[in-house]
Structure 1
């Protein structure tokens, strides 16, 4: 996820429950132990030991984000997040990215918020010294490697990220409009974390060096190491590699600066990509750890979450103005915001939405809430907290955040006390103080030529749109093959990479499995690290089992199943789940319907009781059916304006062909969804929601005996229908390449989807081909596609390739979003890379591939999700629990010649579909030069 910018990251909200007494129902304290020390240069270091897996997370966080920038020089914090990955004096070009591939790391990554920038990675624990060495190089031995050319190149990458995340997506400019109008000019939150294209372009090398020398100093940083490591040895390494780095100038904390709105502001914008009108209302809130922040978080959930919430009742259930309402309190270091977001149904006037919000507030004032509502919300927070602790990296994040913003990782105890002490009167008080009758910023983002849907008396928002200009000089740069610079003095030779430690052993979890009498298979892993249980029930079918004349039925079945049971109304079922601190969700995909569950282990049996009700006694509520159809129709409408969704849907049509069921969007079409009846759902349920097509996977603090006993009612009462999934003939492979174009007028990026229908995962060549693809496009920053299109040319923010088969043939696909004015150049470069790959794959490439794939297995089963994935592979493909060892042997024996043969066979540029979603006026004709004939315009 390299370089995700987080405009208003509510980082602390996820962290507020590190110690918790199970919502007051369990006296056993759950505790994350830590050790903290500070170097003479001011670097603060936090250790946390977790020996459950042979991995270690390293997180380096600087107390600098966009709030420390100068107005007119915005985006520097985020630009720096990018720059620190590129090169340092002792790691050389490619820096941590190249090392990450060799050591089997999760991928060096980072993120930027208003108030902090962090760098993080999880690695096998034999690479810990290497990581400490590399992180120290960022802090003390980096800036001399930055040149004008490096800055020019990375400007283009960041600008592509802004196009992808803001300019080329629906509602992308909303945060910009809100923050600019909520905060006064010059306030450090009045601009966006990613900055503006103009500020980025004008940044000079001297600006960059000044920013680094001011903020990237040890006394402005926290280093957290969490996982399986020797604390004494790690402390020695931290001193060795960081002690030489000098302290920077003292940094004074910024003062809290609230937004002060003297009047309500209403703004509108006609969005080129939006297909639904959206209203956001934003009030001034409070900073992190303010006494009122705890009550505000609970207040927003009471108002918006669930069937009982007044915003849900009025806007969704009663007036049917929208399918979704969200409300949240965001707390940053200097200020906060309280926001409501409503993406209304097609053609809904936002004045109606505003009036409905007022009505919901009035209902809340009149009816309030009860103690059971509070208990229900706290139970959900508890479970979510434990989920956040399932990885060592999650723990590292949390400890760093508390250390920086609360001044102490141990503040967590006081934080919990504040949360648990919130009373009903506190909640009503903060409602009166921050929302009722207070001024706010209202933004109406509506489709083009739909100004009549905006709030009355709104004024046009100021939004700068980038023009598409071919051959812009400010987008050109020339990176030399090498650069010279003066090396920073050190007390020892840092140029030598530290050695590995003792190789970790691969811990394959102990798996149990059994079959019930009703033909449902069960696969489980007992894991007692946390008081949690996660499970999923996968039922084969989904879109694959549908009537081609009524696409969308499976998705609506999934929408409706959790909306009440025979004995429980939708609200009663929802509250029963929430009171357990559980989650039960149902999803439909192309080849299955999946029911997922997550709960505290003490509530496991009660959660399974509710799961059984959902499966055996669906309510088929007519009102919920109508709401579900409207929700799906809104999703379909939104996808029509989103270039990435368009590309995904059109690519499936092209690779499968119109006669194959998988060429369809699982949501269906507007026309098909409108024709579906509730009887269609019942018929699908009777045929395809059946145990003979189902596999149950479970991981957590529960034994095999407990699981089997808990499923006895399903075993007895869920009978097999005997239904079988229809089989479709696999389409013929592409004989020759063809270019297709889908026009999105004035698109700021072109979305590329290149590939073909390849093979199922059960094919003997599937995993070898995946190995082949690592250096091509599957290895992130180790891959040629990323190195050449992003790092070499600055054409894109990200690009990758991969195979996606199941038991059915899936696609080989290359995906990217590229700068509009280099659409042809990017496509030609991808083609060139594919053509050259078989003959240019080197011994070094093979060594990197093997090193990553073998060493990364230490991380293979760390999280609950990873363990569930192991179980799903076993049930879907009939693999043994140690299939990963078979793959290890395959990797060890792989030769360079085999890679070349696989590349020629499975990455042939002349046997692919080339789909481009972008601006046809400027880009369509240029693609003729690829040599694949005239592009076919799809719309």
Structure 2
């Protein structure tokens, strides 16, 4: 039985205007008509189509109603394991599966995600490849499981285990969610275990277990196929019927009953974290499942209590008692249950009992006052902007429709949910607080640095945490070259024949307008009216380049301070004014720039620009805020000292640029430089270096040139030009010979690798051709040799990549990865071998794959407002022609194998690189001498 239904929705807008100045303005009503249709195949497959003609792309997503909640205790991690397995191979796609196909057709990269309740697989492709994607997704669902063999399973177990080490075991506070869920939900509850599963369960999984799980859950009647973008629906229906129609229906699947966490008493637990440098308190209360009527008020409650300077928790814990740089709260909802979370990472040495007391005091004050109407309007304005933002890509639209279909049993919920969000009242917010939070039991975890148990909550018990031991040679061996035969799944037609391309899409390079102002400021814009939003960016050359090396971090502190009030507005008043417009305004500093960026509803562009002008030209210079920001930055620096990835990034900078180069520093500074900085230093930087002739304004969205330019003219009317002189930077060169450097983190579960050297500026004529050359080496994800060899071939890593990272200055060529500790030498040696052989091994097939991806992917290059803004940034920063994308396309078309080989020989020489490893020196340091680059240099003395 088939059905076809069409839905439309009206996006209801709020009256966001407050105060006398805005009282007479009436917001325009904006109507969005989303015309989608659904139908169901005889085998139970639900299909949703959404047509969007704005770009020649189409997003295809397959969403299975299975996550970790459908697993058995002791056999956890299976849903996430299948997220990986389903990309590898199927009967008719062959080895490489969707990843290999994606590289050929110019897709965004086949990807997926797993939650407690669903697994999805998705990518966006040029619309001429739609039939290929439907064929491939059907093959994954109906013609896949026979290709999963013992060696394939053994290898992918290693990849998933590496992901767990990278995301959990080797991260500060990585085990927090494990401890929370283990104690919030009783044994046997499907949320008691983590989505990624346990290392032991993954290792114990048999091939029979895996096939049983697939055959039960990955069946048409448990799957939603979403296709969104520029395509012909009648033709697509025929393809869906052809490729999916004969896949057999699976067993009937019953919905699981809601199972809220039935916590009877408060539980307090602690853990000494090997990577933590600061104490962290996390609290979790049982709440409600997704789409429960109370979920919307709980979301507002979390936002009001914790977000921004007007938030009660900010006022009490951040500004008042100065216990922490921020407080995070969120309502984590899932299909069967929910949990309301509060997290506070305190400053160094702060007793978490003090934090807990401040939390309880803040709740008491909230009980007495509730949420003001003005704050509720402010929060809803932000939710409106977020709603529009979620519709800015075809993939985002497809995700939403599938989510509603599976968990609300109604894709038409896309019509209704905004009403539930906007209907929340102050009384609702207080009601859910009293029902779910006040005097209710919770789970509290204290994660503290080693040997600092005195900072934990009083009465806490030791948490059960599984930590992997480093054992050399402990992983299962596998041979992927072993010849495997299997019985093919029958079909009514020959599925081994890949469908042809459709008509080639024409790359739509957006029309760009520009305007130069008398002050020297340049404006670049793109008008796009798909959603009523505008995104903008004001870039000012400078950043860390203009800083005193003894006081690195000035521009970063200045960027933070500029949003902390203006001459006539307190920090709280400025934040409120921004949020009531449904806008966001951010200021950040980079190595080479100061950037003011943001987004706003179209109707509020002028008012938003008035606030940008205040921020830029009328700073408040608030002493109290300056002191608070310094404390927060120092706390961040302390945290980065414990994060292996941050350590690798900072140490690699020093190797590449040398101690005396300004770019060798992290632009946030270090504890010493930040301590030295005064408010006067920020004023001097502001007065001497922020100049309109060094600035450009980039704007994209639902706005015309005249309106945008007028807004910017107002911005620059009182902005004076300064005489700014940039110092000449010393030249950096590659090392004459390779050297290994090691940063010791005792007990590290992974080794973080940074391998490379100073290579090219983006303005160098070789930069783009070298990037083309790098695609098959390490830039093309699953199409790259590094990924194929280290992840797919050996299971050494969850991910590895390489690339050129230049700007207007020479930047590094970098190979980066996290590999399991006990094969550190083997991984580095294999990278070295691949680099040594790359030039010689590159062939016509490699060139064909490179050209296919890099040309076809242009069709989806400008789909979102963010991608359009990035395009303008490249044109301005690197003086590119407006059609540079088409010119780069010609470079790719015309490049030859000999040219690629020459570029590889010139820029990928493993014998002239820095090899930096951040890991466990006790087990791995000495082995690295076998690389042939001499004795490794230990660059720190780790605390034992």
Shorter-chain TM-score tier: over 0.9
SS at match of 2:485: coil
For 2:653 and 2:714, the matched residues in 1 are separated by 40
How far apart in 2 are the matches of 1:704 and 1:391? 23
3-state secondary structure, aligned to 2:717: helix
Counterpart in the other structure of 1:85: 87
Task: Quote the offset at 1:207 in angstroms.
Answer: 0.3
CA separation of 1:426/1:26 partners in 2, compared to 1, >3 Å: closer, same or farther? Answer: farther
Partner of 2:927: helix, strand, or coil? Answer: helix
Partner of 2:56: 54
Moved more, 737-746 or 514-523: 514-523
Contact 1:540 1:725 in 2 (8 A): no
Partner in structure 1 of residue 614 of structure 2: 613
Distance change (3 Å), C-alpha of 1:416 and 1:714: closer
Q: Is the 8 A contact 2:609 2:715 kept in 1?
A: no
Match of 1:216 in 2: 218
Partner of 1:538: 539
Question: Deviations for 1:513-572, whole angstroms, at most 9, x for unmatched residues?
Answer: 111111111110011111000001111111111011101101000110010000000000
Residue aligned with 1:568, SS? coil
**Is the counterpart of residue 333 in structure 1 residue 335 in structure 2?**
yes
State how 1:350-389 maps to structure 2 within 5 Å: 350-389=352-391
Q: Deviation at 1:704?
A: 0.8
Question: Partners of 1:124 and 1:629 in 2: how far apart?
Answer: 47
Measure the CA separation in 2 of the matches of 1:96 and 1:609: 48
Which residue number in structure 1 is paired with residue 11 of structure 2? 20
Q: State the match for 1:231 in structure 2.
A: 233
Task: Between 722-731 and 890-899, report the one with greater CA deviation.
Answer: 722-731
RMSD over aligned Cα, in angstroms? 1.0
Change (3 A) 1:481 1:770: farther
Equivalent residue number for residue 508 of structure 2: 507
Any idea what SS the aligned residue of 1:322 has? coil
TM alignment of 1:423-434, pairs within 5 A:
423-434=425-436
Q: Which of 234, 244, 247 is residue 246 of structure 2 equivalent to?
A: 244
Residue of structure 2 in register with 1:560 after alignment: 561
SS in 2 for 1:814: strand
Residue 169 of structure 2 corresponds to: 167
Listed one character per residue, the Cα deviations across residues 1-26 of structure 1 (whole Å, up to 9, x for unaligned) are xxxxxxxxxxxxxxxx9853122554
In 2, the alpha carbon distance for the partners of 1:225 and 1:726 equals: 53
1:39 is matched with 41
State whether structure 2 residue 270 is matched by structure 1 residue 268: yes
2:809 alignment counterpart: 808
Name the SS for the 2:770 alignment partner. helix
1:319-468 equivalence runs, <5 A: 319-468=321-470
Cα displacement string for residues 132-169 of structure 1 (whole angstroms, at most 9, x for unaligned residues): 00000011000010101110000000000000000000
Matches within 5 A, 1:95-244: 95-244=97-246
CA contact (8 A) 1:19 1:412 kept: no
**Equivalent position of 1:755 in the other structure:** 756
Query: C-alpha distance in 2, partners of 1:764/1:411?
Result: 51
1:112–1:674 Cα change, 3 Å: same
Q: Partners in 2 of 1:554 and 1:313 — Cα distance?
A: 26
SS of structure 1 residue aligned to 2:325: strand
**TM-score between the two structures when normalised by the length of structure 2:** 0.97
Whole-angstrom distance in 1 between the partners of 2:164 and 2:658: 34
Distance 2:63 2:108 in 1: 18
Distance 2:269 2:129 in 1: 52
Which moves more between the two structures, 442-451 or 588-597? 588-597
**How many angstroms apart in 1 are the aligned matches of 2:384 and 2:172?**
33
1:399–1:409: 8 Å Cα contact kept in structure 2? yes
User: Aligned-pair distance for 1:482?
Assistant: 4.4
What's the counterpart of residue 14 of structure 1?
Answer: none
Q: What secondary structure does 1:194 align onto? A: coil
Q: 1:887 Cα shift?
A: 0.9
Aligned to 1:633: 634
Q: Distance in 1 between matches of 2:725 and 2:403?
A: 51
Does the Cα contact within 8 Å between 1:517 and 1:715 map onto a contact in 2? no
Matched, 1:646 2:647: yes
Q: Give the corresponding residue for 2:317.
A: 315
Distance in 1 between residues matched to 2:863 and 2:413, nearest whole Å: 27
Shift of 1:420: 2.0
Counterpart contact for 1:21–1:30, Cα < 8 Å: no
Please state whether the residue corresponding to 2:412 is helix, strand or coil. helix
Q: CA deviation at 1:652?
A: 0.2
The residue matched to 1:118 in structure 2 has which SS? strand
Task: Measure, in 2, the Cα distance between the counterparts of 1:475 and 1:886.
Answer: 49
Report if the CA contact (8 A) 2:400-2:414 is conserved.
no
Call closer, same or farther: CA 1:774–1:482 in 2, change over 3 Å. farther
Shift of 1:80: 0.6
CA distance in 2, matches of 1:614, 1:858: 38
Structure 2: 5+ residue stretches without partners = 1-7, 16-26
Q: Which of 282, 303, 312 does residue 301 from structure 1 map onto? A: 303
CA contact (8 A) 2:92 2:139 kept: yes
Q: Aligned partners of 2:199 and 2:864: how far apart in 1?
A: 39
- 1:714 shift after superposition: 2.3
Query: Contact (CA 8 Å) 2:12, 2:418: kept in 1 or not?
Result: no
Contact map agreement 1:273 1:447 (CA 8 A) in 2: yes
Query: Following the alignment from structure 2 to structure 1, what is the Cα–Cα distance between the partners of residues 838 and 301?
Result: 56
Give distance in 1, aligned partners of 2:887 and 2:483.
41
Say which SS state the counterpart of residue 365 (structure 2) adopts: helix
Deviation, 1:498, is 0.1
Call closer, same or farther: CA 1:675–1:722 in 2, change over 3 Å: same
Query: 2:800: which partner in 1?
Result: 799
Distance 1:449 1:600 in 2: 50
Partner Cα distance (1:324, 1:399) in 2: 34
| Aligned partners of 1:692 and 1:722 also within 8 Å | no
For residue 308 of structure 1, report the CA deviation from its aligned partner: 1.4
Residue 719 of structure 1 aligns with which residue?
720
Query: 2:3 is matched with which residue?
Result: none
Listed one character per residue, the Cα deviations across residues 427-477 of structure 1 (whole Å, up to 9, x for unaligned) are 1111000000111000000111111111011011000110000011x4321
The worse-fitting range, judged by mean Cα deviation, of 583-592 and 211-220 is 583-592
Matched, 1:486 2:477: no
Could you tell me whether the CA contact under 8 Å between 1:18 and 1:385 is conserved in 2? no
Q: Partner of 1:10 in structure 2?
A: none
1:776 and 1:642 mapped to 2: Cα distance?
A: 28
Residue of structure 2 in register with 1:289 after alignment:
291
CA contact (8 A) 1:326 1:341 kept: yes
CA separation in 1, counterparts of 2:88 and 2:689? 51
Q: What stretches of structure 1 of length at least 5 have no aligned partner?
A: 1-16
Query: 1:413: how far off?
Result: 2.6
Conservation of the 8 A alpha-carbon contact between 1:741 and 1:938: yes
* Alignment coverage as a number of residue pairs: 922
Residue 786 (structure 2) aligns with: 785
Match of 2:733 in 1: 732
Determine helix, strand or coil for the equivalent of 1:270: strand
**Aligned twin of 1:67:** 69
Distance in 1 of aligned mates of 2:775 and 2:29: 49
Task: Judge conservation of contact 2:28–2:603 (CA < 8 Å) in 1.
Answer: no
Q: CA deviation at 1:715?
A: 2.5
Is contact 2:371–2:429 with CA below 8 Å preserved after alignment?
A: no
Cα distance in 2 for residues equivalent to 1:400 and 1:935:
52
**Contact 1:65-1:114 at 8 Å conserved across structures:** yes
